[in-house]
Structure formats: structure tokens, C-alpha cells
Amino acid sequence: SALWSCIKYVELNPVRAGITDDPADYRFSSWGAWSGSGKHPFGREFFNHVKRSLGNRAKGWAIAEVAAELRADMAKTIEAERNDATSESVKTAYAEAKRRPSLQLVATRRMRYWTDGAVIGSKLFVQKVAIDLYGEEKAKRRRYGRGELPEGGALFSLRCLRQQT
């Protein structure tokens, strides 16, 4: 479909530009943001529109299936655009990308959110440290990262991204 082709074209631009080898690693795109956070920036509606545009082929697909097909199709396109690509390497790239990413890979993509934070803890703890660092007025205006814990509750992060040196 036209929508599918357009999405692939846009999401593969960082790869074509040589910025990254995998569009999921480029956090400034919607695919990279989704891969890094687990939530698509445009929410469930994005996947509903994509499914509708694919017609009967995707009628019963869940969000994970739409994402897997898009991930695999992008991997296939990346491999096909390489100079030394073979039909076998294109099929292999598609099949490998169709599998769910490993937990280690998912965690690595999401790690920057936590490792670049100055403080990680409960909301109250993070707010107290922010007040000590920035003063009460600035601390009130700051945004705190929030991560859901598997057993319930949340963990917060004071976002102080590292400066480039």
C-alpha cells in the first residue's frame, strides 16, 4: 500500500543517510522512539491505520504482528539496497528481523533513558535531589522520566543527559 511504502521510506532515511545501520537505533524517528520506549509516538491509531491500509492481509493482526512485519520489511529493503545483496541474503534478513528482538537488544535501546539520568529512584527521592541541585522553583518545572516496574509501581529519573565532549 502507499501508506506502507511511505512509512518505510521515511523510517529508512537515517539508514540511507549513513547515520545508523538499523532504523530502530535512530531515536529521533517514530520507529526509533517506539523501539526505545515500547510505545509508538502516534499510539494505537498508527497501527490501526496501517492495518486498514493493508486490507485483508493484516485484518486479524495484533500490534506486535504489524510491528514485526514492518521491521522485517525494512530489514529486507536495507539488505536489498546493499551492493553485494543476494536473494538468499534478502530472505535471511527478512526472516531474522521477523523474529521478536531479544530482551537484551530491547533493554539496550531503552538503557540510555536510565544511564544518562543523574538520579534514579522514587518520585519523592528524585524531586528532593532536584531541589538540592536546582532550587525549588527550577525543580518544580523539570520533567521527570517515569518507568513502570513489572511488579507495579514506578521508577523515576532526573533527566540530565550527558554533554557531548
Residue 134: what pLDDT? Answer: 86
Mean pLDDT of all residues in 141-160? 80
The top-scoring range by mean pLDDT among 18-27, 69-78, 115-124 is 69-78
- Identify the residue with better confidence: 114 or 136: 136
**Domain positions in the chain:** 2-102, 116-159
Above 80 in pLDDT, residue 97? Answer: yes
Mean pLDDT of all residues in 99-111? 70
What is the three-state SS of the chain?
A: CHHHHHHHHHHHHHHHCCCCCCHHHCCCCHHHHHHHHCCCCCHHHHHHHHHHHHHHHHCCCCHHHHHHHHHHHHHHHHHHCCCCCCHHHHHHHHHHHHCCCCHHHHHHHHHHHHHCEEEEECHHHHHHHHHHHHCHHHHHHCCEEEEECCCCCEEEEEECCCCCC
Percent of the chain residues topping a pLDDT of 70: 87
Above 70 in pLDDT, residue 55? Answer: yes
- Tell me the pLDDT tens digit for each residue of 11-54: 999 999 999 899 988 888 998 888 877 778 888 899 889 999 99
pLDDT band at 165 (very low <50, low <70, confident <90, very high): very low
Rounded to the nearest integer, the mean pLDDT of the chain is: 84
* pTM (predicted TM-score): 0.62
